Each structure stands twice: as C-alpha cells, then as structure tokens.
C-alpha cells in the first residue's frame, strides 16, 4: 500500500515521513497506530492522531455524523487518557475508534474487564510497584531497553496473571542478558561503563588529547622543573605521560620519535602518535565489545520483541481498567436484530463525574425494545416500545445532560469499553447524530444543521438522534414544524432518538410511535436556587412550576420597587404557594 492511500497523507506529508522514517517504516508506524513515531518524524501530534484514527478505524469514525458527536468522542478519550499509565498508552487510547462489529466490541470488553478485575484485586503494594515500573518506562522514553527493564520489574513484582499473563512465560535470564546489552549499546556505540578495557583506553585517549591541546604549556612546565638536556627532558616527559594518561610505558616509548629536531617537535610528534594509536585501539576494542553485545541481543531478540509488545499491551489494558474502575463502569448488553434499544439504569454523566461533583444524580432512561428488569426506587416504569422520545422540562434541569450521557454510553459501548451505568443495553448504530444547543439565529446555521442531522436518516442504516433544543436556531413557529418533521422522519426511518425541546405542546399530535417525557422542578434549595429532579418522568410533559421561578425572583429582588413588581406576578400564579415555597427554603437555612 502506498502512503498516499492513507487518509490525510498528501505529497508533503509523504515526503516528510519518507525522509525521516523511510517508506516501509512509515507504513508500519501507521498500521500499528504509532503516534510517537509520526510525531517524532515531524507531524503535529493532533494530525498524527487523526491520520491513525482513520487508518486503524476509518469505518468507526464514520459513525460520528456531526461535529458534536466528534467532540463528545474526543472528550471521552481525554477522560480515559487521564488514567493512562504511560505516554504510549495515552497515544493508543487517543486512536481508539468505534468498532465495526459486535465481536470486536465484545473481545475488547473481555480484555478491559479482565484487566479491571485483576487490577482491583491487586494489593496496594503491587499496584504501586506496577505504576513505578511504568513511570520509569516513561522516563526512559519507552525505548526497547525501557520495555525490557519494565518487564523484568513486573516479573519481580510477581504480577503474572490476568492482563499480566503475557509476561509470565518470558525467560527472565534471557531478558536480563538483553537488558544488559541494550543498556550497553546506544545508537550502535558502546556506552561508558560497559567494558573496563574500553573505558581505560577512552580515558587514556582523553588525557592525551588534553595534553596535546596544551602542548606548549606542557613544554614550559617541564623546563620550569629545571630540565635542560635532551635526555632529562625525554625522561621527564615520559614520567608525565605515565602519571597523567595511564598509557603503558611500551606504548609511550614506541610513540616517541627518534629524529625530532627540538622539544616542540618531540612532544608534538609523540602526542600525535599516541592519539592515533589510542584512537585505533579504542575503535578496535569498541567493535569487539559491540559485536559481542549485538550477538547477545540477537540471541535474545524474540524475548525482547515479546517483552516490548507485552509491556505495551499491558499498559493499554491497565489504563482502560483504571478508567473503568474510576467511574464504576460495567459491561453493556448489545441488542441486535430487529429489536433496537438504548437503555441505562443509574447512568452517570462522565463529564460531571470527572469534576467530582457529588450532586450528580444518576438517571434511568430507555428507548426501544429494552429489557430493564427493574428500576431504582423513585423511578416510574420505563416504557418498552417507543424508539423516539421528546424530552421536556425545566431550564437547567439536566435534559442536555441526559442526551450527553446517552451519547457517552453508546460511544463507549461501540468502542468496546465498559459504560458508566449499573446496567446498559445498546444497539450499535451506523450513525450517531448528536446536536447540542447552538444559540445562533440565522438561516446559515439552520441550513448547516439540517445538512448534518437529516442525511444520516436517509442512508438506510441504524441511526441514533440526540438533538438538543433545535428551536434555538430558528423562529418558534417554523421550529415546531421542522422539529415535528424530524420526529416523524425518525419514526418513519426506525431510528432511535431523543429530542429536547420546550415546544412539546406545539408538537401535538406526535406519531403514536413517539412519546413525551419530562423533567420537573420540585422547589427551591436553601440558597433559593431551583431544585430539580433530574430523573425524567415518562409519558408526561415536564415543567418548571411557575411559583418556584417567581419565588426566586421575589427573594432576589434588588429593590422594593422591583420586589413589588414580582409580588404582583406572585398573585397571578398563587401568592400562597409562592410564600410557602419561600418559607420552606428559608426554614432549611435555619432562619
């Protein structure tokens, strides 16, 4: 395959990759999803990630039918990246995409859940040892040497089952030999400390080079010691070389010229000869040592390759396991065939959970032919047929959060990852249309929105529609008509969908295959803020009860005149209810 056949690789990118990596290595990097190799070659990290997502999961990326779907997908990946144990694992997480088959989803789920259970069962000390091993792996820049050292550290920690099974049958002695060889070699050169003889020769060469650089000062120093005749000068020079360079006496005497005309020639010729001889000796010894190390590394090549792959794969699985544990994620159930469903029980929104918001209320919700055996206390029975719902209710009542939560659950399930819910059923879809509320009121926005959310319904594949306040981008009368048309089209095309709106009354009559659900305001909290039950109630229109809103306005009025005006509204909606609401809120504050 030619490099230009990969998505995002044009002539300029191809030239960059070939110049830095070579054609075959560049193809291997793309096929293996190696973000680091591409970024080291000169590609921006974001561009490298986009190329690899398309190369390794192009059909999966096609599921993300809108810019908001793609944004939600990227946000999920970054939440998972926060739990990566290595930079390489973080890069691999960033190129995960929705998978093309249920078998692939189940296979990845098996791996991640096995890693989750194994990681949860590890004693704290073993967890710390594993994380420290991977921290050192990152400090060594994820090299072959770092991977072999990490494998040895994992073996030493005694973790060799579950996700660690890949290292269990590695030969420790062979790996130790390979680690020594890899530690001794760097770019084909032998590191200092790898061989005593080589170190001695290098030190001697360095000392001779220093003397040669200061030959005139050396001559003056010898003369200052009172040496005046040739033999005395020769003897003093010889003693200085033996003392400061650790060169053997035979090598020194062999280097001294017999025909030098003066002290300068004598010292200069001797030092130049010593430099030449020592350089040759260093090179010869380095070739011998390097050859021995490379032979040892060749004998251990299979073990090294297996260690590199195992350490890398374990890092990815552990990273995803830590993510799943952090958010209490579970295995989703896939619904296929003629039935279609998206259902969640006690689902948590990851965006809110990541902020450590303890007030996050889990929600139970469902579309289609689900199989929720029971619902949590306080949740009415979930309808079990309608695939399309219109979600209504209070401002800031969590309707958008419900959409985002469903989007997160479906995306994670299709990536083969556990989902943040006590139970979830998911029908894999061909198109995920997620549209957030965009408060832009012009024809261009309306047209672009319709171009992004309508075509997926016309492709013939399974579509999930998650559309938030469509009416915000056009005038109310037209918005109701267009939204009714979208709901009808979704029903006709057997899509799954939730449409958030404040225009529920204007949408009647809905197709019988669609229902209306609602989120309700329940009162004011001690700070006189609207208190909302974020759990939708099924088959009922949700509302922000007016007395709660007016109560807050009365309480927060900035002046007596302003307060009097809001009290007039209180009379209109029921002054007794408003005053009772205010009293309840103040009572809870201790007033």
Segment 293-310, tens digit of pLDDT: 999 989 989 999 999 999
Q: What is the 3-state secondary structure (H, E, C) of 63-80?
A: CECCHHHHHHHHHHHHHH
Q: Work out how many domains the chain is built from and give that number.
A: 2
Q: Distance between CA 150 and CA 24 in Å, rounded?
A: 28
φ/ψ of residue 421, rounded to 5: -155, 155
In the prediction, which pLDDT does 317 show?
Answer: 95
User: With 80 as the cut, is the pLDDT of residue 421 above it?
Assistant: yes
Helix, strand and coil percent figures for the chain, each rounded to 5? 60, 10, 30
The predicted-structure confidence for 340-393, as pLDDT tens digits, reads as follows: 999 999 999 999 999 876 667 899 999 999 989 888 888 888 898 899 999 988
Does residue 38 lie in a domain region? no
Q: Are residues 138 and 207 in the same domain?
A: yes
What pLDDT score does 590 carry?
Answer: 40
Q: Is 410 helix (H, G, I), strand (E, B) or coil?
A: helix
Q: Which of 275, 303, 327 is the last residue of a domain?
A: 327
Answer whether 66's CB lies under 8 Å from 463's CB. Answer: no
Entry pTM: 0.82
319 and 338, same domain (yes or no): no
Residue in 269, 402, 406 with CA at minimum distance from that of residue 332: 406
Tell me the torsion sign for CA atoms 351, 356, 357, 358.
Answer: positive
Are 248 and 374 members of one domain? no
Q: Is residue 567 a part of any domain in this protein?
A: no
- In terms of domains, do 366 and 400 share one? yes
User: Measured between alpha carbons, how far is residue 352 from residues 346, 403, 408, 420 in Å?
Assistant: 14, 13, 12, 12
pLDDT, residue 69, reads 95
* 71 found inside a domain: no
Looking only at the bridges linking them, the beta strands covering 388-393 and 514-524 are parallel
Q: Are 81 and 356 in contact (CB under 8 A)?
A: no
Average pLDDT, the chain: 87
29 domain residue, yes or no: no
Q: Looking at 319-323, 438-442, 508-512, which range is the least confident one?
A: 438-442
Strand-pair category, 530-537 with 431-435: unpaired
For position 544, what pLDDT does the model report? 67
Residue at 480 is within a domain: yes
Average pLDDT over residues 394-410: 88
pLDDT digits (tens, 9 = 90+) for 53-111: 888 777 788 899 999 999 999 999 999 999 999 999 999 999 999 998 999 999 999 99
Name the residue among 313, 384, 381 with its Cα closest to residue 342.
384
pLDDT for res 203 = 93
- pLDDT, position 469: 85
In a domain, 55, yes or no: no
Q: CA 315, 318, 320, 323 torsion: positive or negative?
A: negative
pLDDT, average across residues 542-567 = 81
Confidence of residue 587 (pLDDT cuts 50, 70, 90): low
Q: Is residue 25 part of a domain?
A: no
Same domain, 401 and 306: no
Q: Are residues 345 and 291 in the same domain?
A: no
Quick one: pLDDT band at residue 586, thresholds 50, 70, 90?
low
Enter the tokens of residue 24.
């075959």
Q: Which domain holds residue 505?
A: 332-521
Is-cis flag, bond preceding 405, omega within 30?
Answer: no
CA distance 167 to 218: 59
Tokens representing residue 299 in the block: 């004998």
pLDDT at 331 over 90: yes
Cβ within 8 Å of residue 387, ≥6 positions away? 340, 341, 367, 368, 490, 491, 494, 495, 496, 497, 513
């Amino acid at each position: 395959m030619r490099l230009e056949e990969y998505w995002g690789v044009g002539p300029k990118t191809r030239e960059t990759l070939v110049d830095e990596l070579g054609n075959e290595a560049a193809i291997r990097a793309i096929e293996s999803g190696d973000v680091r190799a591409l970024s080291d070659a000169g590609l921006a990290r974001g561009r490298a990630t986009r190329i690899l997502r398309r190369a390794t999961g192009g059909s999966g990326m096609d599921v993300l039918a809108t810019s908001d779907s793609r944004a939600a997908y990227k946000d999920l990946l970054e939440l998972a990246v926060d739990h990566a144990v290595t930079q390489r694992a973080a890069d691999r997480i960033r190129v995960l995409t929705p998978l093309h088959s249920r078998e692939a989803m189940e296979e990845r789920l098996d791996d991640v859940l096995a890693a989750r259970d194994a990681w949860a069962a590890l004693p704290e000390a073993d967890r710390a040892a594993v994380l420290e091993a991977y921290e050192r792996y990152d400090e060594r820049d994820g090299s072959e040497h770092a991977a072999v050292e990490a494998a040895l550290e994992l073996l030493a920690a005694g973790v060799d089952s579950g996700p660690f099974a890949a290292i269990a049958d590695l030969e420790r002695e062979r790996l130790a030999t390979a680690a020594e060889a890899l530690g001794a070699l760097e770019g084909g050169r032998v590191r200092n400390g790898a061989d005593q003889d080589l170190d001695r020769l290098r030190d001697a060469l360095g000392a001779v080079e220093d003397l040669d650089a200061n030959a005139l000062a050396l001559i003056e120093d010898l003369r200052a010691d009172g040496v005046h005749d040739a033999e005395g000068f020769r003897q003093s020079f010889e003693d200085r070389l033996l003392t400061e360079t650790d060169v053997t006496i035979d090598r020194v005497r062999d280097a001294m010229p017999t025909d030098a005309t003066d002290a300068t020639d004598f010292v200069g010729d001797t030092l130049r000869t010593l430099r030449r001889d020592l350089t040759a000796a260093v090179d010869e010894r380095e070739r011998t040592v390097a050859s021995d190390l490379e032979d040892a590394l060749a004998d251990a090549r299979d073990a090294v390759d297996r260690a590199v792959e195992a350490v890398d794969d374990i890092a990815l699985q552990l990273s995803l396991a830590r993510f799943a544990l952090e958010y209490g994620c579970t295995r989703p159930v896939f619904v296929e065939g003629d039935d279609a469903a998206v259902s969640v029980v006690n689902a948590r929104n990851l965006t809110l959970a990541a902020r450590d918001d303890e007030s996050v209320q889990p929600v139970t919700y469902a579309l289609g032919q689900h199989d929720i055996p029971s619902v949590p206390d306080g949740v009415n029975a979930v309808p079990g047929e309608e695939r399309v719902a219109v979600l209504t209710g209070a401002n800031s009542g969590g309707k958008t959060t419900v959409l985002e939560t469903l989007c997160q659950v479906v995306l994670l399930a299709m990536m083969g990852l556990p989902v943040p819910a006590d139970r979830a059923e998911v029908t894999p879809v061909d198109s995920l249309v997620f549209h957030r509320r965009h408060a832009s009121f012009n024809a261009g926005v309306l047209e672009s929105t319709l171009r992004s959310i309508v075509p997926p319904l016309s492709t013939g594949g399974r579509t999930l529609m998650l559309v938030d306040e469509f009416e915000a981008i056009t005038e109310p009368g037209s918005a109701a008509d267009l939204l009714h048309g979208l709901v009808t089209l979704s029903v006709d095309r057997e899509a799954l969908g939730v449409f958030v709106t404040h225009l529920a009354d204007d949408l009647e009559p809905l197709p019988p295959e669609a229902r209306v659900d609602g989120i309700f305001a329940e009162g004011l909290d001690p700070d006189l803020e609207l208190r909302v039950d974020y759990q939708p109630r099924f088959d009922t229109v949700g509302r922000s009860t007016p007395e709660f809103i007016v109560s807050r306005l009365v309480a927060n009025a900035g002046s007596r005149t302003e307060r009097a005006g809001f009290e007039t509204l209180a009379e209109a909606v029921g002054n007794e209810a408003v005053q009772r609401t205010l009293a309840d809120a103040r009572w809870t504050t201790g007033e």
